[in-house]
Homo-oligomer: A and B are copies of this chain.
């Protein structure tokens, strides 16, 4: 990442957005996304205003990869969703960020991406399922700092 501006005033992710930050370091932050359809949804946001993954230096890219892996593993182990979706799009806000989204067969849009059409005739998950997912999401959020502070396996 050479010559990238560190902050862009007009960028929604560069400013001081209201976020539930779970963990941060000098390079990135992990935030919880408040989305009732996808409890446990996390976003990993690069601190500097970088457009594409391939603009990162190798060491930066590896660091981000490690963090994505830790969050994804936490999602899998604690929420046990039917699938996990990872995506870096940035078409609306071209500031490098990753979506990590737990998916369930009975969630709002499955099997479409969460940005796609809802399931036809979709019924919401049971209240018990929704409650369990929200509780597990809170467990994930409470556990992530410890997981991210642990020694990297790489």
Contacts and interface: CB of A to CB of B under 8 A. Distances in A.
Interface in A77-115: 83-92, 94, 103, 110-113, 115
A61 interface: yes
A76 B52 contact: yes
Interface of A: 51-54, 58, 61-62, 65, 68-69, 72-73, 76, 83-92, 94, 103, 110-113, 115-116, 153-154
Contacts of A116: 113, 115-116
Nearest to A75: B54
A112 B110 contact: no
Contacts of A153: 58
Nearest to A83: B91
Contacts of A85: 87-91
A91 B84 CA distance: 8
Nearest to A81: B52
B83 A54 contact: no
B69 A91 contact: no
Nearest to A59: B154
Given A69-B61, A115-B115, A83 B87 contact: no
A51 B90 CA distance: 25
Contacts of A53: 68-69, 72, 84, 86
A52 B76 CA distance: 9
Contacts of A87: 85-89, 113
Given A52-B76, A53-B72, A89-B85, A154 B113 contact: no
